[in-house]
A and B are shown apart, each in its own frame.
Chain A
Amino acid sequence: MTALLPRRGLAQILALIVILAVDRVVSPQFFDLRLQDGRLFGSLIDVLNRGTPVALLSLGMVLVIATRGIDLSVGAVMAICGAIAASLADSHGLPVVLAAALGAGLVCGLWNGFLVAVLGMQPIVATLILMVAGRGIAQLITEGRIVTFSSPDLVWLGNGSVLGLPVPVVIALGMLILTGAVVRGSALGLLIEATGGNARASELAGVGTRAMILAVYVWCGVCAALAGVIAAADIMGADANNAGLWLELDAILAVVIGGTSLFGGRFSLVLAVLGALIIQTMNTGILLSGYPPEFNLLVKAVVVLAVLLLQSPKLSGFAGVMARLRGTKP
């Protein structure tokens, strides 16, 4: 049976193609690209640009979920780090601003990792603490106001372009490559998958499972910090109440759409990012179609269901249909 099932990633690619096709129907200019002032414009670029925060979050989230954990605090961490970046932007240089924001994300990740790996708390509860408290911390930093800034360096981070592509997209791509290089270039990937697959057995095989778990939460915090800085740079201000709100759920969704099981084990960075793009392609499509944004949530639910059904091993009937389709059109 398994041989007949779609290969890894096929379901996600199919879903993306279908959604892109639907987008093309609702908005005939969807695939149009134009170059203006050395920068590409168009709906596709928009999808990439808007999808950046969730894509960054999903890079950290997929590793956390691979260890059988979850991080609900990433939205709040975005708000904290965005607030820090915005507060420092006009008084300090970009390196300082970035270091402060990313450092804060790292500390947040350490905190989560400490609770889960050292104190042995359940990840969903442990990260719920920072999810609630984090937004409060962000509001304390901004003193309840929306902090705006005009630092051209930070604004460039959210709105500039490199080689025709928006800077956030380039950053996300860079982070994907960096994470991939670290995780798959070292033994980290195997050891994370082993830890998520069977922590007890991995521990007995000599794997430092605590260090693995700590590391993934730290990385998740750093990714969230970067997403927070980009979100703040994009609107040239930090809104502690709304920055990153509910994005933890989109990130989890992206990971799940990317085929990584919430029970841990096997994971794919690329497919998680693809999951984030699927979500954003839907969002953009609905915006372009002119339907009220409330539809967004419903449509999202339907598409998620469809992708998960495509991945379900129980759906052998559908797999059979797929196999026949592929058989007739070699």
Chain B
Amino acid sequence: MGNGLDPASPLLEVRGISKSFGAVRALQDVDFTLRAGEIHALLGENGAGKSTLIKVVTGVFPRDAGIVRLGGEDVAPRSAKAALSAGIATVYQEVNLLPNLSVAQNLFLDRQPMRFGIVREGEMRRRAKALLADFGLDIDVAAPLGDYSVAIQHVTAIARAVDLSARVLILDEPTASLDRHEVEILFRIMRQLAKRGIGIVFVSHFLDQVYEISDRITVLRNGRLVGEREIASLPRIELIRMMLGRELAETTSARAAASERPPREVCASFENYGKASYVAPFNLELRHGEVVGLAGLLGSGRTETARLVFGAERADRGQAKVEGAAVRLQSPRDGVRHGFGYCPEERKTDGIVAELTVRENIVLALQAKRGLHRPLSRREQDEIGRRYIRMLDIRPPDPERPVGLLSGGNQQKVLLARWLATSPRLLVLDEPTRGIDVGAHAEIIRLIRELCDDGLSLLVISSELDEIVTYSDRVVVLRDRAHVEELAGEAIDVGNILAAIAADSVAVALEAHT
């Protein structure tokens, strides 16, 4: 980003930071430099130390060693609040505001304009409106924050932070739950803020976005600094190598092999299947040994299709068939009984039972399928737990660890294991690689291909089109809660998918990023 500020004097300077938790060294001698007016991506696999670094800088964790300088002066905030008043604001993926209060109240929480001890509502709303107008947002500020999309909640959180005279803005995975259009809005605001001289730290798993928005990057690995680079002179493969510390084959090359297998028999089919004001009726055929990808923007009906197919939502029209026989899918239990499995997008709320162990989480669906009267003995459970921990390389390989303590990628593998243990015929995977570090990401994709080669039928949703193109035999494209296109064989490529998604206006915006 072009700006008139002196790049030589750093805005935020972190030198030699170390932090241990018990015997675990989470950060070792890490340096980080943020200039005024730059967008600086902080990258690394899960467990690399990104969150710890942010929390040490913002005073959430006390540091063991090192210094933090803001505008040339040493700072040592003792809490996130102290960091904020020093000028370092953090906006987390889960927005820390109050959804039941109005947008205006959220913006001026703790500092409402008062007169004679009474909050001046009108004044507050007027100022809130003006503040958000700066960010190109024209919304009803008197409405509860919770009524708005996550994107608007994010912008509100950022507006509040900036208005509290933040000089450093840390955004931790801000785009994880935003759709493409919302990401655009966020990026525009980030650029605008950078122009005003605010230094922005951007943490993200989405490498495309990192390349799109960042000026420089800093990569951490295993709690150590790997390097700091200008993004313009850093090839993607080099960046991935920095993050992983090993060569990673470009994933797109696997495409050719996928389409050459002979067609197999139909596993499940859905005719004119749909639900009013949920998903328009669709026809879908899922074959053994085949991956069908569902592509579309967020809210296009991908997850809704998945839930109908699995039985998590009841269809109000159409006919479902399993191996040629008509079936009724009224509940997840029905889906499970017919040999379906479903890994939902929201792992934490819809997937894992955090308190239970890895073993218990793995056997849960199988036990539910067998019924109460046929309990799996402890020995069988141990055996199943160990088998899948080994097969999917779940780490740490401890079946008795509460699953909530595992990383996102390993939780995802536990969920996969849960369904594989039921020997399913069809697996529905909703965003199986979201929020997962690069290494686990490649592994999950490899697993999808392997499962498919074993004759399983897979229905996979992903926002990452490169990924969908890599493993799908067919791709169904959705738009506005309807299936609009089905691509097969040679026709599957990112361009065609985009063309189908973007039959109208959105096309231009999307093309720009591929």
Once the chains bind, are B360 and A190 in contact (CB under 8 Å)? yes
Once the chains bind, are A205 and B375 in contact (CB under 8 Å)? no
Q: Contact mask A173-208 → B, CB, 8 Å, 1/0?
A: 000000000000111101101100110111111111
Once the chains bind, are A188 and B372 in contact (CB under 8 Å)? yes
Leading 8 A-B pairs by shortest Cβ distance = A206-B336, A206-B368, A197-B353, A187-B375, A205-B365, A198-B353, A207-B368, A265-B355
A50 at the interface (CB under 8 A from B): no
B418 at the interface (CB under 8 A from A): yes
Query: What's the minimum C-beta distance from B151 to chain A, rounded to whole angstroms?
Result: 24
- Can you list 14 A-B pairs, Cβ within 8 angstroms, ordered by A? A187-B374, A193-B353, A194-B353, A197-B353, A200-B350, A201-B352, A201-B353, A202-B353, A204-B344, A205-B368, A205-B418, A206-B332, A206-B365, A208-B333
A266 at the interface (CB under 8 A from B): yes
Once the chains bind, are A191 and B368 in contact (CB under 8 Å)? yes
Q: State in angstroms the CA–CA spacing of A194 and B372 once bound together.
A: 13
Which B residues lie within 8 Å of A200 (CB)? 349-350
Once the chains bind, are A194 and B349 in contact (CB under 8 Å)? no
Once the chains bind, are A198 and B367 in contact (CB under 8 Å)? no
Q: State in angstroms the CA–CA spacing of A197 and B349 once bound together.
A: 10
Q: State in angstroms the CA–CA spacing of A77 and B115 once bound together.
A: 56
Q: Contact mask A1-41 → B, CB, 8 Å, 1/0?
A: 10000000000000000000000000000000000000000
Q: Are A198 and B349 CB-contacts (below 8 A) given A187-B367, A207-B364, A266-B355?
A: yes
Partner of B336, one of A185, A205, A266: A205
Partner of A186, one of B22, B354, B363, B373: B373
Once the chains bind, are B372 and A206 in contact (CB under 8 Å)? no
Q: Are A201 and B351 CB-contacts (below 8 A) given A206-B332, A206-B335?
A: yes
Partner of A194, one of B335, B364, B375: B364
Which A residues lie within 8 Å of B332 (CB)? 203-206
Query: What's the minimum C-beta distance from B22 to chain A, rounded to whole angstroms?
Result: 8
By beta carbon, the residue of chain B nearest A211 is B372
Once the chains bind, are A186 and B368 in contact (CB under 8 Å)? no
Q: Contact mask B413-443 → A, CB, 8 Å, 1/0?
A: 0000010000000000000000000000000
Query: What's the minimum C-beta distance from A199 to chain B, rounded to whole angstroms?
Result: 9
B342 at the interface (CB under 8 A from A): yes
Q: Contact mask A263-283 → B, CB, 8 Å, 1/0?
A: 001100000000000000000
Which B residues lie within 8 Å of A206 (CB)? 332-333, 335-337, 365, 368-369
Q: Contact mask A200-244 → B, CB, 8 Å, 1/0?
A: 111111111000000000000000000000000000000000000
> How many residues belonging to B are interface residues under a CB distance threshold of 8 Å?
32
Once the chains bind, are A204 and B360 in contact (CB under 8 Å)? no
Q: State in angstroms the CA–CA spacing of A188 and B373 once bound together.
A: 9
Which residues 321-374 in B have Cβ within 8 Å of A in the complex? 332-333, 335-337, 342, 344, 349-356, 360, 363-365, 367-374
By beta carbon, the residue of chain A nearest B371 is A187
Which residues 9-26 in B have Cβ within 8 Å of A in the complex? 22
By beta carbon, the residue of chain B nearest A266 is B355
Partner of A185, one of B333, B351, B363, B375: B375
Once the chains bind, are A198 and B368 in contact (CB under 8 Å)? no
Which A residues lie within 8 Å of B445 (CB)? none
B70 at the interface (CB under 8 A from A): no
B406 at the interface (CB under 8 A from A): no
Q: State in angstroms the CA–CA spacing of A187 and B22 once bound together.
A: 38
Q: State in angstroms the CA–CA spacing of A266 and B351 once bound together.
A: 18
Q: State in angstroms the CA–CA spacing of A207 and B350 once bound together.
A: 13
Once the chains bind, are B364 and A190 in contact (CB under 8 Å)? yes
Once the chains bind, are B356 and A197 in contact (CB under 8 Å)? yes
Q: State in angstroms the CA–CA spacing of A201 and B360 once bound together.
A: 13
Q: State in angstroms the CA–CA spacing of A207 and B22 once bound together.
A: 39
Once the chains bind, are B356 and A193 in contact (CB under 8 Å)? yes
Q: State in angstroms the CA–CA spacing of A190 and B365 once bound together.
A: 11
Once the chains bind, are B350 and A191 in contact (CB under 8 Å)? no
Query: What's the minimum C-beta distance from B388 to chain A, rounded to whole angstroms?
Result: 15
By beta carbon, the residue of chain A nearest B360 is A190
Q: Are A198 and B354 CB-contacts (below 8 A) given A190-B367, A207-B368?
A: yes
Q: State in angstroms the CA–CA spacing of A265 and B402 once bound together.
A: 12
Q: State in angstroms the CA–CA spacing of A207 and B368 once bound together.
A: 5
Q: State in angstroms the CA–CA spacing of A207 and B333 once bound together.
A: 7
B60 at the interface (CB under 8 A from A): no
B376 at the interface (CB under 8 A from A): yes
Q: State in angstroms the CA–CA spacing of A200 and B354 once bound together.
A: 12
Q: Contact mask A81-106 → B, CB, 8 Å, 1/0?
A: 00000000000000000000000000
Partner of A202, one of B342, B363, B364, B373: B364
Q: State in angstroms the CA–CA spacing of A200 and B364 once bound together.
A: 13
Which A residues lie within 8 Å of B369 (CB)? 206
Q: State in angstroms the CA–CA spacing of A204 and B343 once bound together.
A: 9
Q: State in angstroms the CA–CA spacing of A190 and B335 once bound together.
A: 21
Q: Are A201 and B349 CB-contacts (below 8 A) given A186-B375, A194-B360?
A: yes
Which A residues lie within 8 Å of B336 (CB)? 205-206
Once the chains bind, are B312 and A204 in contact (CB under 8 Å)? yes
Once the chains bind, are A204 and B356 in contact (CB under 8 Å)? no
Which A residues lie within 8 Å of B350 (CB)? 200-201, 204
By beta carbon, the residue of chain B nearest A1 is B22
Which residues 68-126 in A have Cβ within 8 Å of B in the complex? none
